[in-house]
Every structure is written in structure tokens, then in C-alpha cells.
Amino acid sequence: MTTDKLPLLLEPDELEANLGRDDLLVVDLSKPDTYARFHVPGAVHLDYAQIITVQKPAMGLIPDDASLTAVFSAIGIDARMHVVAYDDEGGGRAARLLWTLEVAGHNRFSLLNGGLHAWANEEHPLDSAPVTPVARVFEVHRDPAPVADSSYIMAHLDSDDCVLLDARSPDEYKGFKKFADRAGHIPGAVNFEWTEAMDQGRNLRLKPADELKSLLAERGITPDKEVIAYCQTHHRSAHTCLALQCLGFERVRGYAGSWSDWGNNPELPLEV
């Protein structure tokens, strides 16, 4: 097996079989204390805060090219490296890394299905020694296709070809919980909480494809449409974006900033 053939969604057995390849980089986005206790052998640690930027009140924005170049180079990513990302929360932080790599023009990556939960609970090897990254040279080649902003969403609000997916909790979606100046959701958005994609009985892997497609189709989310996913900061919805891609959805965009951007802008419409 070569890393060129590694799937977007990678099972722990497949990762273990490929550990040690010189063109494979495993990136751990777990909490620092979790990484210090145990992690996939050879995995480098990345602090989630390094792959987002803040322009208050908007959170979870995409860093500029210079920042992405510095971070990705420092942890050892270049054009030939296949990145496998995981975390200890079900894949949100890991998926945001992969989405950011896609925005930066790097498409050689996989999400470890189930993340650290599946890896550890299914008795794959663990290590506690910190790994010092081998720095490489990363070049950013921005790709606008994975990104939606408020202007793009406004231009597509009435499009039958586009569906907005709100990955927040039902209480946030309905406006009962408020984490911005305004509560509610983007007009026309359907609610699919990000954890609905997780299989609690299989160590937080994605649910089987047929089951997940059915849950999405019930909400009008089908592969023939463009899907724009958002949450509060595009952390949870990054996981949703990746789940959609794993199901074969070809037009998927994430809204960096998400409700922290939309909900704090009084000029933008909302529904409750």
C-alpha cells in the first residue's frame, strides 16, 4: 500500500500498517495533557489555536498565508507528505486542520476514523514520548472552493441548488442558547448537529454511509446540491464538511467564522 491510495477516511488498522512511512505525517490535535499521556507512535502535536485566527467578534477565521506557511512548515508538511489527523473529541479539531490544508491547496490527507477513541480502545500501539517535528517547506496555494463567507451565502440564500447546514445544537439553532449578539440561524438553514454523524457504539467513527445519507436526506441535504456548513466558529461544522466529502458530496463549503461572524452582524438576516 502506498500513501497515494490512503482513503480520506482512514481506519486505525490501515494507519497502523502504514506507520513509519517517510511520506506520512500523523498529526495529533488532542488536548496537550492527553498527548503527553498517550498518542499514536510518531504523531506530532499541534495546538488547535495555531490553525485559526480571531478578529473579534468573529472567531475561527482562516490565518493568512504567512501564518499557515510557518505552522505547516514547522510541523513537517510539504507537498509530498500525506497528513493523517486525529484528536480526542471525535474529529472536530482534526477535520478543521484538514479543511485548512485543503484551503491552503494541500489535498494529501486523511481523517483517522474514530480518532484517539478508536485507536486506544481497540488496543493499537500507544506512545507517551513527545515527538519533535522535522521541519519542511510548505507552500500555500489558496483554493477558494472549500470556503464560503457571508457575501457568498447572501448571494445563494434563495438558490434551489444550495442548502445551508447548521451543525450547532438544536438550542443554538432555535435561538434558546446565544453565543453572539443575536440568536437564531441563517434563513433557510437546516439543523444537523455535528454529533449526529458519530457512531457512539463504534468509538466515535462516522456512522455507516447509508445511515448517514438517510439522516441527511431527511433534511434535504443531498449530493446533487452544494452544501454550506457552519456552526459557531467552523470547528464542529468542519467535521460535518469532511463527513459529507466522505459520502461523495462534491460541492461542500465551510463558513469560517460561522455564527460568530453572522450573528454579530446586524445587517445580515436571521431566523429563530
pLDDT of residue 3: 46
* 66-to-30, 114, 115, 136, 206 alpha-carbon distances in Å: 24, 32, 29, 15, 33
Mean pLDDT, residues 6-12: 98
Domain boundaries, the chain: 3-121, 147-262
Instruction: For helices 236-246 and 92-103, give the axis angle rounded to 10 degrees.
Output: 70
Work out the pLDDT band at 4, boundaries 50, 70, 90: low
Rounded CA-CA distance 30/138 in Å is 23
Strands 109-112, 82-86: parallel, antiparallel or unpaired by DSSP?
A: parallel
The CATH number of 147-262 is 3.40.250.10
| Amino acid letter for position 90 | G
Mean pLDDT, residues 132-161: 97
- Asked if 3-121 and 147-262 have one fold, the answer is yes
pLDDT of residue 263: 98
- What's the burial of 34, exposed, middle or buried (CB within 10 Å: 0-12/13-18/19+)? middle
Mean pLDDT, residues 55-62: 97
Rounded CA-CA distance 133/225 in Å is 40
What grid cell was written down for 141? 496555494
What grid cell was written down for 83? 497528513
Strands 58-61, 53-55: parallel, antiparallel or unpaired by DSSP?
A: antiparallel
Rounded CA-CA distance 34/83 in Å is 20
Rounded CA-CA distance 183/264 in Å is 9
Mean pLDDT, residues 230-248: 98
The sheet carrying 44-45 orders its strands as 9-10, 109-112, 82-86, 24-28, 44-45
Active site residues: 231
* % of the chain with per-residue pLDDT over 70: 99
Tens digits of residue pLDDT in 63-107 = 999 999 999 999 999 999 999 999 999 999 999 999 999 999 999
* % of the chain with per-residue pLDDT over 90: 98
Residue 1 has pLDDT above 70, yes or no: no
Residue 44 has pLDDT above 50, yes or no: yes
CATH superfamily for 3-121 is: Rhodanese-like domain (3.40.250.10)
What residues contact 152, with CB distance under 8 A and at least 6 apart? 228, 253
Rounded CA-CA distance 107/265 in Å is 33
Mean pLDDT, residues 5-20: 96
| Amino acid letter for position 94 | A
Residues in the chain: 272
Residue 15 has pLDDT above 90, yes or no: yes
pLDDT of residue 195: 98
Residue 111 has pLDDT above 50, yes or no: yes
Mean pLDDT, residues 22-48: 98
pLDDT of residue 5: 81
